[in-house]
Structure 1
Amino acid sequence: MRVFPIACVMGLLSTTALAAPAAMTQDSGAPVGDNENSKTAGPDGPVLLEDFHLIEKLARFDRERIPERVVHARGTGVQGMFVASEDFSRYTKASLFAKPGKETPVLVRFSTVMGYRGSPEAARDPRGFAVKFYTDEGNWDLVGNDLPVFFIRDAIKFPDFVHANKPSAVTNIQDPNLAFDFFSRTPESTNMLTYLYSTQGMPESYREMDGFGVHAFRLVSAQGQQIFAKFHWKSELGLHNLTLEQQQTADPNYATRDLYDNIRAGHFPKWDLYVQVLTAEQVAQLPYDGFDDTKTWENVPEAKIGTMTLNKVPDNYFQYTEQSAFAPGVMVPGIEPSPDKMLQGRLFAYADTQRYRIGTNYQELPANRPLVKVTNNNQDGTMSIAPQVGEVNYEPSTAKKVGAVTPQPSFKLGEYPVSGVVQQKAIAKTDDFGQAGNHWRSFSKDEQAYLVKAMAADLNRVTDHGIKLRQVSYFYKADRDYGTQLAEATHLDVNEVAALAAKVVSY
Structure 2
Amino acid sequence: MNQVEQQGKPNASSKQQQLEPYTQSHANEELTTNQGVKVSNTDDSLKAGSRGPTLMEDFHFREKMTHFDHERIPERVVHARGFGVHGYFQCYESMAEYTKAKFLQDPSVQTPVFVRFSTVVGSRGSADTARDVRGFATKFYTEDGNYDLVANNIPVFFIQDAIKFPDMVHAIKPEPHNEIPQASAAHDTFWDFVTSHTETAHMIMWLLSDRAIPRSFRMMEGFGVNTFRFVNEQGKSRFVKFHWKPLLGIHSLVWDEAQKLAGKDPDYHRRDLWNVITEGNYPEFELGVQMLEEEQEFSFDFDILDPTKIWPEELVPVKRIGKMTLNRNVENFFAETEQVAFHPGHVVPGIDFSNDPLLQGRLFSYLDTQLLRLGGPNFAEIPINRPLAPVHNNQRDGFHRMTIDRGRVSYFPNHLQSNSPQPSANGYVHYAEKVEGKKVRERSQSFQDHYSQATLFWNSMTPTEKQHIIDAFYFEVGSVQDKSIRQRVVDMFNNVDGELANQIAQGVGATPPTTPGGTGVTASSPAVSVMNSVQSAKTRKVAILAEDGFNYQEVTQMIQALRTEGVKAEIISKNLGMITSADGLQLEVDKNYVTTGSIMYDAVYVAGGLQSINTLRTHGDAIHFINEAFKHCKTIGATNEGVDLLNASQIMGVTTAMPESQAQLVNELGVLTVRNISNITDFSNSFIQAVSQHRHWGREMQKGSVPG
The 3 A distance-change label for structure 1 pair 370 and 235 is same
Contact residue 148 and residue 214 of structure 1 kept, 8 A: yes
- 1:282 matches 2:296: yes
Partners of 2:515 and 2:80 lie apart in 1 by 37
- 1:381 matches 2:420: no
- 1:347 matches 2:358: no
SS of 2:93's equivalent in the other structure is coil
Contact residue 452 and residue 485 of structure 1 kept, 8 A: yes
- Residue-by-residue CA offset, 1:166-213 (whole Å, 9 max, x unaligned): 111101103611100000011111101101111122101101101011
Which residues in structure 2 correspond to 1:47-446 (within 5 Å)? 47-174=54-181, 176-250=187-261, 251-298=265-312, 299-360=315-376, 361-398=378-415, 400=417, 404-411=420-427, 412-429=429-446, 430-446=448-464
Contact residue 106 and residue 134 of structure 1 kept, 8 A: yes
Letter in 2 for 1:371: L
Partners of 2:277 and 2:135 lie apart in 1 by 19
Contact residue 393 and residue 404 of structure 1 kept, 8 A: no
Alpha-carbon distance, 1:223 to partner: 1.5
Partners of 1:220 and 1:20 lie apart in 2 by 50
Q: Structure 2 regions of 5+ residues with no counterpart?
A: 1-24, 520-708
Alpha-carbon distance, 1:42 to partner: 4.5
Alpha-carbon distance, 1:324 to partner: 1.1
Contact residue 502 and residue 513 of structure 2 kept, 8 A: no
Cα RMSD between the aligned structures? 1.8
Structure 1 consecutive aligned stretches of length 4 or more whose deviation exceeds 6 Å: none
Letter in 2 for 1:315: E
Aligned length: 483
SS of 1:179's equivalent in the other structure is helix
SS of 1:351's equivalent in the other structure is helix
Question: Which residue number in structure 1 is paired with residue 685 of structure 2?
Answer: none
| Structure number with bigger Rg | 2
SS of 2:111's equivalent in the other structure is strand
Question: Which residue number in structure 2 is paired with residue 483 of structure 1?
Answer: 501
Higher relative CO (Cα under 8 Å, sequence separation at least 6) belongs to 1
Letter in 2 for 1:452: I
Q: TM (normalized to structure 2)? A: 0.66
SS of 2:196's equivalent in the other structure is coil
Partners of 1:388 and 1:27 lie apart in 2 by 24
- Residue-by-residue CA offset, 1:291-344 (whole Å, 9 max, x unaligned): 111100121011111100111110001111111111111111111111111110
Partners of 1:497 and 1:186 lie apart in 2 by 22
Identity of matched residues, %: 43
Question: Which residue number in structure 2 is paired with residue 467 of structure 1?
Answer: 485
Alpha-carbon distance, 1:31 to partner: 2.8
Q: TM (normalized to structure 1)? A: 0.92
Question: Which residue number in structure 2 is paired with residue 4 of structure 1?
Answer: none
Contact residue 88 and residue 112 of structure 2 kept, 8 A: yes
Partners of 1:127 and 1:168 lie apart in 2 by 21
Alpha-carbon distance, 1:472 to partner: 2.1
SS of 1:380's equivalent in the other structure is coil
Alpha-carbon distance, 1:78 to partner: 0.7
Partners of 2:40 and 2:432 lie apart in 1 by 63
Letter in 1 for 2:440: Q
Question: Which residue number in structure 2 is paired with residue 7 of structure 1?
Answer: none
Contact residue 490 and residue 513 of structure 2 kept, 8 A: no
Once the two structures are overlaid, the 10-residue window that deviates more, 423-432 or 185-194, is: 423-432
Partners of 1:140 and 1:399 lie apart in 2 by 33
- 1:28 matches 2:35: yes
Contact residue 233 and residue 274 of structure 1 kept, 8 A: yes
- Residue-by-residue CA offset, 1:215-236 (whole Å, 9 max, x unaligned): 1111111121111100000000
SS of 1:184's equivalent in the other structure is helix
SS of 1:66's equivalent in the other structure is coil
